[in-house]
Amino acid sequence: MSETFPSKAAEHARPTMIDVARRAGVGLGTVSRVVNGGHGVRDETAQRVRAAIDELGFQRNEVARALRPGKKSTSLALVLGDLTNPFYASIAKASLEVAGQSGYAVVLGSVDEDPEGEKRAIQELVSRQVAGLMIVPDQGDHAFLEGAGVPVVFVDRPATGIDADIVMVDNEGGGRIAAEHLLAQGHQRIAILLAPSYYTIGRRLRGFRRAHRAAGVDVDESLVVQLPEGTAEAAEKATREVMLRADAPTAIFASTNFLAEGVLRALGVLRSLGELSQEPAVVGFDDFRLADMLPTPVTVVASDIAELGRSAARLLLDRASGTDTRPPQRIVLPCALIERGSGERPPGSAGNRTAG
Amino acid sequence: MSETFPSKAAEHARPTMIDVARRAGVGLGTVSRVVNGGHGVRDETAQRVRAAIDELGFQRNEVARALRPGKKSTSLALVLGDLTNPFYASIAKASLEVAGQSGYAVVLGSVDEDPEGEKRAIQELVSRQVAGLMIVPDQGDHAFLEGAGVPVVFVDRPATGIDADIVMVDNEGGGRIAAEHLLAQGHQRIAILLAPSYYTIGRRLRGFRRAHRAAGVDVDESLVVQLPEGTAEAAEKATREVMLRADAPTAIFASTNFLAEGVLRALGVLRSLGELSQEPAVVGFDDFRLADMLPTPVTVVASDIAELGRSAARLLLDRASGTDTRPPQRIVLPCALIERGSGERPPGSAGNRTAG
DNA sequence: CTGTTAGCGCATTCAG
DNA sequence: CTGAATGCGCTAACAG
């Protein structure tokens, strides 16, 4: 006992349980017991320990705690693309809330655009011993997750190469609803803009086609526009091109929120140039802020994105705790149409292109 | 290509360095050396070790690694309010990118609305041994962070009770620019809508006042509207009230992106009701998506939000690594006006007229 | 009830 | 150059 106080542990080192134990004049185990609920400790002793904890400002080291085998860490990982997309931001926020309520933190892996980036990020996260992974998967194969020993929940779209829980929206139904809505108003030539072929987009297209078939209307394949990128810019360009055709569509279905923005941007430009021969109806997929405040409020097929995040987190938490041992689940959230105006324009709405 | 997680490996136990060592027929230390750069290991031995690592799909346990004294963990914490606000989402994304490039993960603490929630979240994060904290602070006292033993960088606004690095925008300058712009066009009665008194809002107001003083125009205190909440709804209500006054302002400065939305919403309603005696000029603070596509494109004072996040992460990384030992820094990013139309309306613009 | 002990997976001494 | 030994802070199992 050369030193009463551990000299080095003065300012920059956080106190440990041993410090607390010494301070309270008890053993290490007792401190641990008090910290973890205090069962089986005499009240008086517990008081002393708690006092020492307070005085020292002790805080349990979660990292060391998680090192014990069996004891899973209390953090989940969330892997997604662009937080700047309100769609992903909603998922992040919602899952964060649910996780937080159960005392879990959420680690966000940095995800580059490249396909390998996601894999690297995921492995990074796994090496951090997270208790589970929520992944909005990119297109690559995710078989490498099979033996990861960590529960995985995919969000928004399934991944190939692995059978895991998946929480998503009814993309096909949404695509169908959008097309049905337009067809019901007499539109026969409906363009559909597709972001690079993610799973979701394929399903939306399928619903789109199905509605056409049910209505006995043929889909003009030249109006099924596959974009090189899922950006507003790409959609803007494509819209300009398609609307300048002699046989321009009377309606446009934009398969994502960003694409809808691009469509509207293009229409605005054409309109201002007096080159819009007719005003097409527009329906977007996924709601977005200010959609109702644009010159023509935008009709969209929407779903409860926050619920997507919440469900994913809840499911993952149950898997991580071992509470839920069912086979992989498949949760599908419904879509609904929100009519605002842009999607209710009848075919042949007057444009402003000067004759000739 | 080797599988990272061999499917036949035990589901529940990830291989450890000891497994690798046994497999390669070497000692634990050797494996460690190979994993960490492989200096001072004979090439042949290193090969054997690497082979074993591949075969076993070994991945270093970051948690255990971080347990060693001195060795800080490789994760940063980010504490902020509402990821659903594009402003915060941008910060998150940008800081995430920078951190990721240095091999750091970012942990998001769940932050409730209540003031105590933030403190709890921060302590949670600290107990997880993060190497540093990025905090968009709430109003409470943050003195409790003094002895946390972790570097802290505040983002967007400083915190009271602690002197730490801070990265923010030039709020006062922004407020000044907005007011100057409106005053230059002859506006004399400019309303300013204020979200609950965060630091930033106070500075924006100060700049607003300063511009008035410089222009020799008195600020009508009844037009300085302190809102109970920072929501679009609150701004909408306040705008409705102020615009229905006999002495309605000829211009409105909305001090946040959400408030600008509320202002526009209110004006839209009043307009449609034929109750807008005159069309006020509107300037917002912080740019937002679709601002340029609204019926009247919105003029805003904007700054590089992503750079806010990047700077914060860079600074924190340098602090965490000990590279940067300067006294607390104060990084201030400039604001600039983006003229789009709503802010260029002269005083006395006729109301109740459909936008052309 | 309470103190002591043995690791968790890894980096780092210290010997050889 | 390499293997063995020592904790990091904590929990769980085992004595007293």
Is pLDDT of A5 > 80?
Answer: no
For chain B, the straight-line distance linking the first and the last C-alpha, in angstroms and rounded, comes to 62
| Pick from B282, B286, B285: nearest CA to B295 | B282
Q: What is the mean pLDDT of residues A180-195?
A: 98
Distance CA B107, CA A78 (A): 10
Distance CA B193, CA B185 (A): 20
Q: What is the pLDDT of residue A354?
A: 65
**DSSP run (H or E) holding B300:** strand B299-302
Name the residue with higher pLDDT: B66 or A300: A300
Enter the tokens of residue A311: 């469900």
| Pick from B316, B174, B336: nearest CA to B256 | B174
Q: What is the pLDDT of residue A12?
A: 56
Contact A124, A107 (CB under 8 A): no
Strand residues in A152-250 grouped as ranges (E): 152-155, 165-169, 190-194, 224-226
Name the residue with higher pLDDT: A310 or A41: A310
3-state DSSP call for residue B301?
Answer: strand
Nucleotide nearest to B49 (CA to C1'): D2
Q: Which of B5-14, B36-45, B201-210 has the highest mean pLDDT?
A: B201-210
A101 touches chain B (CB under 8 A): yes
Q: What is the mean pLDDT of residues B204-228?
A: 98
Q: What is the pLDDT of residue B156?
A: 96
A145 touches chain B (CB under 8 A): yes
Is pLDDT of B355 > 50?
Answer: no
Percent of chain A with pLDDT over 90: 74
Largest Cα–Cα distance of chain B, in whole Å? 89
Cβ of residue B28 near strand D, that is under 7 Å? yes
Q: What is the mean pLDDT of residues B49-56?
A: 90
Strand residues in B59-164 grouped as ranges (E): 75-79, 105-108, 132-135, 152-155
Q: Which of A13-27, B112-126, B168-182 has the highest mean pLDDT?
A: B168-182
Q: What mean pLDDT value characterizes chain B?
A: 90
Going from the C-alpha of A181 to that of each of A85, A170, A187, A263, the distances in angstroms are: 26, 16, 9, 18
Enter the tokens of residue A203: 């399903």
Q: What is the mean pLDDT of residues A6-35?
A: 78
Q: What is the mean pLDDT of residues B168-196?
A: 98
Report the residue from B3, B63, B83 with minimal CB separation from A129: B63
Q: What is the mean pLDDT of residues A317-344?
A: 96
Q: What is the pLDDT of residue A348?
A: 83
Q: What is the mean pLDDT of residues A338-342?
A: 98
Q: What is the mean pLDDT of residues B69-87?
A: 89
Is pLDDT of A288 > 50?
Answer: yes
Kindly report, residue by residue over B243-300, the tens digit of the pLDDT.
999 999 999 999 999 999 999 999 999 999 999 989 999 999 999 999 999 999 999 9
Is pLDDT of B5 > 50?
Answer: no
Distance of C1' in C8 from CA in A44, Å: 32
pTM of the model: 0.91
| Pick from A210, A200, A209, A203: nearest CA to A172 | A203
Touching A: B residues 102-141, CB under 8 Å = 103, 105-112, 121, 123-129
Cβ of residue A13 near strand D, that is under 7 Å? yes
Kindly report, residue by residue over A67-89, the tens digit of the pLDDT.
887 677 899 999 998 999 999 99
Handedness of CA A277, A281, A284, A287 (dihedral sign): positive
Handedness of CA B202, B204, B209, B213 (dihedral sign): positive
3-state DSSP call for residue B91?
Answer: helix
Q: What is the pLDDT of residue B9?
A: 33
Q: State the alpha helices, DSSP H only, in B185-336.
A: 199-215, 232-243, 257-273, 305-321
Kindly report, residue by residue over B320-343, the tens digit of the pLDDT.
988 999 999 999 999 999 999 999
Q: What is the pLDDT of residue A139?
A: 85
Distance CA A14, CA A149 (A): 32
Cβ contacts of A212-219, under 8 Å, gap ≥ 24: A212/A179, A212/A183, A214/A180, A215/A180, A215/A183, A217/A183, A217/A188, A219/A190
| Pick from A255, A184, A185: nearest CA to A223 | A255
Neighbours of B103 (CB within 10 A): 11
Is pLDDT of A1 > 60?
Answer: no
Nucleotide nearest to B127 (CA to C1'): D9
Lowest mean pLDDT among A45-49, A89-93, B132-136, B349-353: B349-353
Which residues of B are less than 8 Å from A67 in CB distance?
A: 63-64, 67
- Give B164-227 as a DSSP string: -EEEEE-HHHHHHHHHHHHHHTT---EEEEE-S--HHHHHHHHHHHHHHHHHT----GGGEEE-
Touching B: A residues 205-244, CB under 8 Å = none
Q: What is the pLDDT of residue B70?
A: 67
Q: What is the pLDDT of residue A70?
A: 66
Contact A87, A285 (CB under 8 A): no
Distance CA A330, CA A164 (A): 9
Contact A66, B69 (CB under 8 A): no
Q: What is the pLDDT of residue A140?
A: 86
Lowest mean pLDDT among A147-151, A156-160, A228-232: A147-151
Is pLDDT of B316 > 60?
Answer: yes
Q: What is the mean pLDDT of residues A198-206?
A: 95
**Looking at this protein, which amino acid is placed at residue B169?**
V
Residue nearest D9, CA–C1′ metric: A64
Enter the tokens of residue B332: 């201030």
Kindly report, residue by residue over B91-102, the tens digit of the pLDDT.
999 999 999 999
Distance CA B210, CA B20 (A): 68
Is pLDDT of B135 > 60?
Answer: yes
